[in-house]
Amino acid sequence: MNLLSDAAQSSTWLAIKPQITKDKSDTDCDVRQTLYFSHGFSPVFKKQTKVDVPDNVDVILVAPKGSGRTVRSLFREGRGINSSIAVFQDVSGQAKEKATALGVGIGSGYLYETTFQKEVYSDLFGERGCLAGGLHGMFLAQYEVLRERGHSPSEAFNETVEEATQSLYPLIGANGMDWMYEACSTTARRGAIDWSGRFKETLKPLFNELYDSVASGKETERSLSFNSQKDYREKYEQEMKEIRELEIWRAGKTV
């Protein structure tokens, strides 16, 4: 089970690989040995990561669709979050069954099958898009326009972040976008439906550019290069400090 960070998996692989099949015959490996990943990054981008898996073991993936902290906290409550499962290499003929069992074991109530490549492509794409990077960018753009048009920090934050995260997003998560629209006023509903198409047309080319960057390995190179630097932690903390000090998030602390 290799749950190290992507950069750490790459830097430690030469030491880890011999331990996977150490003191095991080919027969033992065929039946018993399984290498598990929670992310397809290292095997898929092996040219950059140098993670070439042994050819005599099962290689599987169970990728929870959430943070490790969330997986752990829900598991302790007897619950779990959705996960994708995939098989990279099936030597025993039982790799899919192993992945399914592991997914159930960590508490996932819903499992869906994918491939290592599709998992890592969609994961990197989503993190940089709607899940984090794109979301933060949209928050900042709307907040800045409101501030530039004379609205107070509190008003701009409430209309950009607070209402979205505390009121509307939970409705989408519970019952879908149509349910959220139904919960809005008729005026809000009409405007949202009309403008959603404009946002889609504007953003889709950018999302295609992002997907190409993921598929080409550019995002992998960037991640490994930055996260492998000796002063990575200091640089990262400086970036977080700059985000924390943005007016939008300082305003949020007072709301």
Q: pLDDT per position in the chain (255 positions), as tens? A: 999 999 999 999 999 999 888 766 555 544 568 999 999 999 999 999 999 999 999 999 999 998 889 999 999 999 999 999 999 999 999 999 999 999 999 999 899 999 999 999 999 999 999 999 999 999 999 999 999 999 999 999 999 999 999 999 999 999 999 999 999 999 999 999 999 999 999 999 999 999 999 999 999 999 999 998 999 999 999 999 999 999 999 999 998
> Cα dist. 94→12, 51, 97, 228 in Å?
28, 23, 5, 35
Q: Strand runs (DSSP E) across the chain, as ranges?
A: 34-37, 58-64, 83-89, 111-113
Pairing of the two strands 58-64 and 111-113: unpaired
| Two tokens, residue 106 | 């960590």
- Kindly tell me the number of DSSP H helices and DSSP E strands found in the chain: 16, 4
- Comparing C-alpha atoms, which of 21, 29, 106 is closest to residue 63? 106
Q: Residues comprising the binding site for Mg(2+)?
A: 123, 127, 159, 163
- Comparing C-alpha atoms, which of 211, 209, 207, 214 is closest to residue 44? 214
Domain borders along the chain are 6-114, 129-254
Residues in CB range of 83: below 8 A, 6 or more apart: 62, 63, 64, 65, 103, 106, 108, 110, 111
Q: SS3 of 22, please?
A: coil
What's the pLDDT score for residue 22?
73
Q: Residues comprising the binding site?
A: 123, 127, 159, 163, 185
Task: Confirm whether pTM is higher than 0.85.
Answer: yes
> Catalytic residue numbers?
39
Q: What is the CATH number of domain 6-114?
A: 3.40.50.720
Q: Residues comprising the binding site for substrate?
A: 185
Cα distance between residue 2 and residue 17, in whole Å: 11
Cα distance between residue 234 and residue 216, in whole Å: 28
Cα distance between the two ends of the chain: 43
